[in-house]
Structure 1
Amino acid sequence: MEKAFVECVPNYSEGRRKEVIEAIVEPFKNRQGVYLFDYRADEDHNRLVVSLVGDPDSLQEAIIESAKIAQSHIDMNNHKGAHPRIGAVDVIPFTPISGITMEECVELARGFGRRYHEATGIPVYYYEDAALKPDRKKLEVIRKGQYEALKDEAVSNPERQPDVGGPALHPTAGATVIGARKFLVAFNVNLGTTNLDVAKKIASYVRASSGGFCHVKGIGVALEDKGMVQVSMNLVDYEKNSLYRVLETIRMEAKRYGVPVVETEIYGMIPAGAILDSAAYYMQVADFDPQQVIELRLLKLMGEGLK
């Protein structure tokens, strides 16, 4: 029987205190069954994104240990940052990689949510494929108003109460959103202006909720340390909305305001197909096949040899 492997990308509401960041990440280092691929903190967003792969049991143990550390250091009543958030441990998504189906990943997420609440006392909302309510599939619906609004509305409005725990949020750690989803690409485009309205308008042109690309979520944020603004996006299905297509649309819209694209950012891990698709577009490679990449072909041969 093939061993189950999942990806998990927990997001924490801390991107400025290096000692806290390292403490949060420590449970993922040198731990059997858990592979720490990447972790990145952004001061403007005030957010830490950790990319993990591992077997479900080992990941759950490590995440709970890490969450307790985050809970002890992060007070949402004092937290400020550009990225939307409702909790110290803001979101924990699980993605099936091998030996596990999406349906099994949904059960994993829901079971983990109950276990997580018991261990930390932090209420849980389920989203994406693990959502218990249709309107909670979208993360932005759960996060509406962010922590400041949700901490009051969760108590007064039954429609906004957590799926596990509550109705009140944790007094300092808020709530955590847990779910199962496809691979997500966190893709940011930085613009050569300090005019935040430009980034917000362009974000509205590309995101699905306001008539843009059907699998893109986006907001405009200010990068005060860089003296720029950013269109910050999540591409929830990169096979249907290519990076290059989204980028070229942003570039075209930015020209209306006389604003250049200065740089782009990929936050965390990304599937090879998402990068190769854009590379083939910009290089105008005819009939490109990802198996022309020697490393991918070798990995495929190695995988076949292990069967």
Structure 2
Amino acid sequence: MLRPPALACCKLYISEARNSGALRAIEHAAAALRPLAVLVNTFADDAYNRVGYTLVSPLAGGAASPPLRCAAFRVVAAAIEAVDLDAHAGAHPRLGVVDHIAFHPLASARLEDVTALARAVAADIGDRLQGPLPFIPPRREFTGTAVPTYLYGAAHRDGRTLASIRRQLGYFTPTSPGGEQWHGAPDSLLPVAPDAGPRTSSASNGVVVVGATPWVDNYNVPLATADVSVARRIARAVSERGGGLACVQAMGLAHGDGATEVACNLLHPDAVGADQVQERVSRLAAGLGVGVGQGYFTDFSREKVVELYLQAAQAA
């Protein structure tokens, strides 16, 4: 097994999981730079109409255009071309076709190593999406318009959190009459000026949020109830914001016919992990007479992600 070099991980969350043609185009873009940048995981959720891609690449010391920058942009451009946010509907909140891009350091990499990468990708999306990008071979003119882009975490000058910019942009407010679904695009006139890109968003693209943070685990716990208000009550009590577990963010969401779940971000999984979340959700749900299923991760652990990358590098 190769000794792990300094690696960067990029997780891209796309607002589409039902259009097979769009997914093929996006996945082709994600795999285009293999083995320089390796797609190690894809997680699609039909109820949420959302898919997550995990890309890993070595950090090219001093290079202006590391492979992960190119790979991330390819995925964004393919998604913008293939998906129309105005026609999108799903049970998970979102702000854009490419809803969220998160960069994390792996192995011996440092947070500051991926911070510059996140900022560069945000600039590519916000300022250069509509023109040719010389660092992407072959040179190609993209037809999409530039997309408003927001930074968070270490990539933002003030360290703004992901939750705070999402809250400012109305991310957590459902748009369906029943309050369980998100339909169409957010308002075109944005309440907060973007860090890159135009001041207004298009109905077909929405906006993109890009950040750099230490590793985050995503862990979801199914609930045996169709009542979203119950799921939200439990999620609130689990989350740090609601007085629950430290470094845990949680949402109660509809998840298919007759089911809901508590969807969690574990911001410091070494300190507060999935077992503690599972126990807390189970205890709170029992008090409300609600059954609980076994939770699940939407991605591999950081150790497994490194292992999968190294296996791909060895096989190349």
Identity rate, percent: 28
- Identify which range, 230-239 or 112-121, moves more after superposition: 112-121
Q: Deviation per CA, 1:19-72, whole angstroms, max 9, x where unpaired? A: 211211112226231111110111111111011111351121122122111111
The aligned residue for residue 103 of structure 1 is 112
The aligned residue for residue 205 of structure 1 is 237
CA distance, structure 2, for counterparts of residue 271 and residue 132 of structure 1: 26
Paired residues of 2:17 and 2:51 also in contact (CA < 8 A) = yes
The letter for the 2-side match of 1:202 is: I
Structure 1 residues 1-307: aligned runs within 5 Å = 3-29=5-31, 31-56=34-59, 57-117=66-126, 118-120=128-130, 121-134=146-159, 136-143=160-167, 144-146=169-171, 151-154=187-190, 157=191, 160-225=192-257, 227-271=258-302
Q: Deviation per CA, 1:145-183, whole angstroms, max 9, x where unpaired? A: 1397853451xx4xx111101211234111111111111
Stretches of 4+ moved more than 6 A in 1?
Answer: none
Structure 1 residues 119 and 212 mapped into 2: Cα distance closer, same or farther (>3 Å)?
Answer: same
Aligned to 1:182, the other structure's residue is in SS state coil
Per the TM alignment, residue 114 of structure 1 is displaced from its structure 2 partner at its CA by: 1.0
CA distance, structure 2, for counterparts of residue 265 and residue 64 of structure 1: 29
CA distance, structure 1, for counterparts of residue 161 and residue 294 of structure 2: 31
Per the TM alignment, residue 116 of structure 1 is displaced from its structure 2 partner at its CA by: 2.6
Q: Greater relative contact order (Cα 8 A, min sep 6): structure 1 or 2?
A: 2
Per the TM alignment, residue 133 of structure 1 is displaced from its structure 2 partner at its CA by: 3.7
Structure 1 residues 13 and 69 mapped into 2: Cα distance closer, same or farther (>3 Å)?
Answer: same
CA distance, structure 1, for counterparts of residue 122 and residue 165 of structure 2: 19
Per the TM alignment, residue 77 of structure 1 is displaced from its structure 2 partner at its CA by: 1.7
Per the TM alignment, residue 137 of structure 1 is displaced from its structure 2 partner at its CA by: 1.9
Structure 1 residues 256 and 3 mapped into 2: Cα distance closer, same or farther (>3 Å)?
Answer: closer
Q: Which has the higher helix share?
A: 1
Paired residues of 2:188 and 2:202 also in contact (CA < 8 A) = no
CA distance, structure 2, for counterparts of residue 248 and residue 240 of structure 1: 15
Residue ranges of structure 2 left out of the alignment (5+ in a row)? 60-65, 131-145, 172-181, 308-316
TM-score, structure 1 length as denominator?
0.80
CA distance, structure 2, for counterparts of residue 115 and residue 4 of structure 1: 23
CA distance, structure 2, for counterparts of residue 253 and residue 236 of structure 1: 21
CA distance, structure 2, for counterparts of residue 184 and residue 50 of structure 1: 14
Paired residues of 1:125 and 1:178 also in contact (CA < 8 A) = yes
Paired residues of 1:123 and 1:170 also in contact (CA < 8 A) = no
Per the TM alignment, residue 84 of structure 1 is displaced from its structure 2 partner at its CA by: 1.6
The letter for the 2-side match of 1:137 is: T
